[in-house]
């Protein structure tokens, strides 16, 4: 009888230990040391509200109305108290509706691997607009954010990295959802700025390659112009490279015309 009691006691202790370890792992996963990416940007609420209040649509863009407090609330509710590795596009739909804004035909700009130059090239003329020129992209540009399941607090210590942790994290899903809508709304001729000073100007795994070009409406968009930007003195013609040929293939298969031209940074910046 004593032996049976010892066995029962041992099993009970083993079960309790397993529960404790499992609970510890779950708590650790929700802790601040689990992720490889930067934590939520400090003072993110103040930054987004300030950017929202000061945002004025540039000439050519329309915005019916904006309620910055509601926009912040929708933004926060899209990820707070949720598993930061299980965020979905549906989580961001209320935010998308509050910031709905489209670019006029022939004025949509995509870019890949060159965010700073994309802004510099068109900061004066503003004849084309990127996602970052819209209210939605403007208020979130350069920020990081995430929370943890079961808590209303943000994680300021670390957030999931797309490659090292999970792709369904708050920031990655946000930009994928916003980019998908931005591309789907495009019409007429669209422009794409690509970095010709790297081995592969077109990357299928980039947002441009995996989301934007695949969501262009071929009934609305009839031409994609690729500008491959090189550093001065670079004599390569990237328009003939295998990666640009890959892009051309994808675009033409979608019944959209494709053109490519080589440009130099100094000439365009001047």
Q: Are residues 147 and 117 in the same domain?
A: no
Of the two residues 230 and 106, the one the predictor is more confident about is: 106
Q: Are residues 174 and 84 in the same domain?
A: yes
Among candidate residues 105, 159, 166, 260, the one labeled active-site is: 105
Q: Are residues 211 and 228 in the same domain?
A: yes
pLDDT over 70 (residue 264): no
Give yes or no: 105 in active site. yes
The first and second tokens of residue 59, run together, are 């000439």
Q: Are residues 150 and 166 in the same domain?
A: yes
Q: Are residues 212 and 246 in the same domain?
A: yes
Q: Are residues 269 and 195 in the same domain?
A: yes
Is residue 260 classed exposed, middle or buried when 0-12, 13-18 and 19+ CB atoms within 10 A define those classes? buried
Which pLDDT score, from 0 to 100, does residue 201 have? 93
Q: Are residues 76 and 150 in the same domain?
A: yes
Is 101 within 8 Å of 61 (Cβ atoms)?
Answer: yes
The last residue of a domain, from among 149, 168, 183:
183
Percent of the chain with pLDDT over 70: 79
Q: For the residues 149-178, what does the mean pLDDT come to?
A: 97
Q: Are residues 215 and 148 in the same domain?
A: no
64: left (phi over 0), alpha (psi -120 to 50) or beta: alpha
Q: Are residues 94 and 107 in the same domain?
A: no
Give me the chain's average pLDDT, please.
Answer: 86
The domain in which residue 1 lies consists of: 1-30
Which pLDDT score, from 0 to 100, does residue 122 have? 62
The count of structural domains within the chain is 3
Give yes or no: 6 in active site. no
Q: Are residues 242 and 146 in the same domain?
A: no
The CATH number of residue 229's host domain is 3.40.50.720
| Single pTM value for the model | 0.84
pLDDT band at residue 220 using 50, 70 and 90 as cut-offs: very high
Of the two residues 149 and 265, the one the predictor is more confident about is: 149
pLDDT over 80 (residue 27): no
Of the two residues 30 and 115, the one the predictor is more confident about is: 115
Out of 89-98, 111-120, 141-150, 220-229, least confident range: 111-120
Among candidate residues 52, 68, 159, 187, the one labeled active-site is: 187
Which pLDDT score, from 0 to 100, does residue 25 have? 45
pLDDT over 90 (residue 148): yes
pLDDT band at residue 183 using 50, 70 and 90 as cut-offs: very high
Q: Are residues 190 and 175 in the same domain?
A: no
CA distances to 194, 210, 243, 250 from 199, rounded to whole Å, are 11, 18, 9, 19
């Amino acid at each position: 009888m004593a032996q049976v009691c010892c066995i029962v006691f041992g099993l009970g202790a083993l079960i309790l230990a397993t529960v404790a370890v499992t609970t510890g792992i779950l708590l650790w996963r929700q802790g601040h040391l689990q992720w490889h990416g930067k934590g939520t940007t400090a003072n993110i609420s103040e930054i987004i509200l300030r950017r929202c209040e000061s945002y004025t649509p540039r000439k050519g863009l329309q915005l019916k109305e904006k309620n910055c407090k509601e926009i912040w609330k929708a933004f926060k509710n899209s990820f707070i108290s949720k598993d930061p590795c299980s965020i979905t596009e549906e989580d961001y739909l209320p935010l998308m509706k509050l910031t709905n804004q489209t670019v006029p035909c022939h004025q949509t700009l995509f870019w890949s691997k060159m965010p700073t130059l994309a802004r510099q090239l068109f900061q004066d003329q503003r004849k084309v607009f990127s996602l970052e020129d819209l209210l939605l992209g403007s208020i979130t540009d350069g920020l990081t954010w995430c929370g943890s399941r079961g808590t209303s607090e943000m994680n300021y210590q670390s957030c999931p990295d797309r490659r090292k942790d999970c792709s369904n994290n708050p920031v990655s899903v946000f930009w994928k959802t916003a980019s998908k809508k931005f591309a789907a709304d495009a019409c007429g001729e669209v422009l794409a700025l690509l970095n010709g000073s790297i081995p592969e100007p077109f990357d299928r795994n980039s947002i441009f390659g995996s989301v934007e070009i695949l969501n262009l409406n071929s009934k609305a968009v009839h031409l994609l112009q690729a500008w491959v930007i090189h550093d001065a003195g670079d004599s390569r013609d990237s328009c003939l490279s295998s990666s640009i040929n890959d892009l051309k293939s994808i675009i033409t298969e979608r019944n959209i015309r494709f053109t490519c031209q080589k440009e130099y940074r100094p000439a365009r910046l001047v």
